[in-house]
């Protein structure tokens, strides 16, 4: 068997090093179980309080471990084959120099794809390393060395990319780990106070109780800020990358281009069935390659729709999720907003058209606020 060379050895060493944060969290979790369940509940607590604490603790512990496991071992989703260039298109790109000719090849390849975002310069988003046209909200991860659908960030604590396939699991991991730490800190507080007032017997358990409270309180502070930040991202339907750099659409930058209102933003991540919201079971809406948008500016590349009665019939469907992936059922707002613009700028439509245009614009403005 041929040697893999120094490059292969370095890659294997990096893969091993990437697991160190996960091993650290796992060891810390194992110690916390021993310190709380054995040393605190079994040794220190007495009576009915011990049973209640143990039941609540094991419930939080199980949900914490389950969501953490799913976040780590759920593979990130990559763009489907339709976003990869054909062999002929790759040859054309290699022959064409960087510039307008290069972009023309990409525009022809992307004309039937559900893509609305662009680069800062207005070009088609293309990954040279993966040789594919990037779907909306897709980014290339330098650690995983692949394009990840709706990439949020690469998290070293789970040794995985957080994206479309496991973002819900990541949120539940943050939520249950925060509840786990808060529960331990709250139930351990009275014994922590007794430790400093010499109210505990001088046994091995007293040191576990002291360090357990310190660890739980410290992680509670850091987890609460991180969880609160991601709750804000979900409410705005943004990823961490989009919060730092707003997505660019054909009409320009729009930081709220994917926001559909609080309720629909929540359902994008957690799904329509509320019974699955608190369980680390995949229930997010969509396919990760296309997303409904809430664009209120006119898109010059979108085909115009007739004004008048056709736009009124679509107005009731403006904020509904597509029944099928967006590639088959395009965002209603992309066409309706243009219809309103045409209605308001065409003097031949009369007062009725201008009245409809005015109230439709107010309606979408109110919906975006809500």
Q: Which residue has the higher pLDDT, 198 or 119?
A: 119
Instruction: Name the band, by pLDDT with cuts 50, 70 and 90, for residue 323.
Output: very low
Q: Which residue has the higher pLDDT, 341 or 132?
A: 132
Q: What is the per-residue pLDDT for 273?
A: 94
Residue 336 has pLDDT above 70, yes or no: no
How far is Cα of residue 293 from the mean position of the Cα atoms in its chain? 16
- The residues, ordered by sequence, that sit 6+ positions from 185 with a Cβ below 8 Å of its Cβ are 213, 216, 217, 220
Q: Which residue has the higher pLDDT, 125 or 338?
A: 125
Instruction: Name the band, by pLDDT with cuts 50, 70 and 90, for residue 219.
Output: very high
Mean pLDDT estimate for the chain: 79
Distance in angstroms (rounded) separating the CA atoms of residues 84 and 90: 9
Q: Where are the domains of the chain?
A: 15-80+156-276, 81-134
Q: What pTM did the predictor assign?
A: 0.78
Task: For residue 32, give both structure tokens.
Answer: 């916390």
Q: What is the per-residue pLDDT for 12?
A: 84
**pLDDT tens readout for residues 174-196:** 999 999 999 999 988 888 887 77
Q: What is the per-residue pLDDT for 47?
A: 61
**pLDDT tens readout for residues 152-176:** 999 999 999 999 999 999 999 999 9
Q: Which active-site residues does the annotation give?
A: 155
342 backbone dihedrals φ, ψ, rounded to 5°: -65, -40
**pLDDT tens readout for residues 246-293:** 999 988 899 999 999 999 999 999 999 999 999 999 999 999 999 998
Q: Is 306 left (phi over 0), alpha (psi -120 to 50) or beta?
A: beta
Q: What is the per-residue pLDDT for 190?
A: 82
Residue 5 has pLDDT above 50, yes or no: yes
Distance in angstroms (rounded) separating the CA atoms of residues 170 and 45: 33
Distance in angstroms (rounded) separating the CA atoms of residues 97 and 47: 78
Distance in angstroms (rounded) separating the CA atoms of residues 127 and 13: 27
Q: Which residue has the higher pLDDT, 338 or 98?
A: 98
Q: What is the per-residue pLDDT for 188?
A: 86
The sign of the torsion formed by the CA atoms of 351, 352, 354, 358 equals positive
């Amino acid at each position: 068997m041929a040697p893999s060379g120094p490059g292969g050895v370095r890659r294997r060493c990096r893969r091993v090093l990437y697991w160190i944060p996960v091993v650290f969290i796992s060891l810390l979790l194992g110690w916390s179980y021993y310190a709380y369940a054995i040393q605190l509940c079994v040794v220190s607590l007495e009576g009915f309080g011990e049973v209640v604490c143990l039941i609540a603790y094991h419930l939080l512990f199980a949900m914490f471990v389950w969501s953490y496991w799913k976040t780590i071992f759920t593979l990130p989703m990559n763009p489907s084959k339709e976003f990869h260039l054909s062999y002929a298109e790759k040859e054309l790109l290699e022959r064409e120099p960087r510039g307008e000719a290069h972009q023309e090849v990409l525009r022809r390849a992307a004309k039937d794809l559900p893509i609305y975002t662009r680069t800062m310069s207005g070009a088609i988003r293309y990954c040279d390393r993966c040789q594919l046209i990037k779907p909306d909200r897709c980014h290339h991860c330098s650690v995983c060395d692949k394009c990840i659908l709706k990439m949020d960030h690469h998290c070293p604590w789970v040794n995985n990319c957080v994206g479309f396939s496991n973002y819900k699991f990541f949120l539940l991991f943050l939520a249950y780990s925060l509840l786990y730490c808060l529960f331990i800190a709250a139930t351990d507080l009275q014994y922590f106070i007794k430790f400093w007032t010499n109210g505990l017997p001088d046994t091995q358990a007293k040191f576990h109780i002291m360090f357990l409270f310190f660890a739980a309180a410290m992680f509670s502070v850091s987890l609460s800020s991180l969880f609160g930040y991601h709750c804000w991202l979900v409410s705005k339907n943004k990823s961490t990358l989009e919060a730092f750099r707003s997505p660019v659409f054909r009409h320009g930058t729009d930081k709220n281009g994917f926001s559909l209102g609080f309720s629909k933003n929540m359902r994008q991540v957690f799904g329509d069935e509320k019974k699955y919201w608190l369980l680390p079971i995949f229930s997010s809406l969509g396919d990760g390659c296309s997303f409904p948008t809430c664009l209120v500016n006119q898109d010059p590349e979108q085909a115009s729709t007739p004004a008048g009665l056709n736009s009124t019939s679509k107005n009731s469907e403006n904020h509904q999720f597509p029944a099928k992936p967006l590639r088959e059922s395009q965002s209603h707002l992309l066409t309706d907003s243009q219809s309103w613009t045409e209605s308001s700028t065409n003097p031949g439509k009369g007062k009725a058209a201008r009245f409809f245009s005015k109230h439709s614009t107010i309606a979408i403005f109110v919906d975006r606020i809500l």
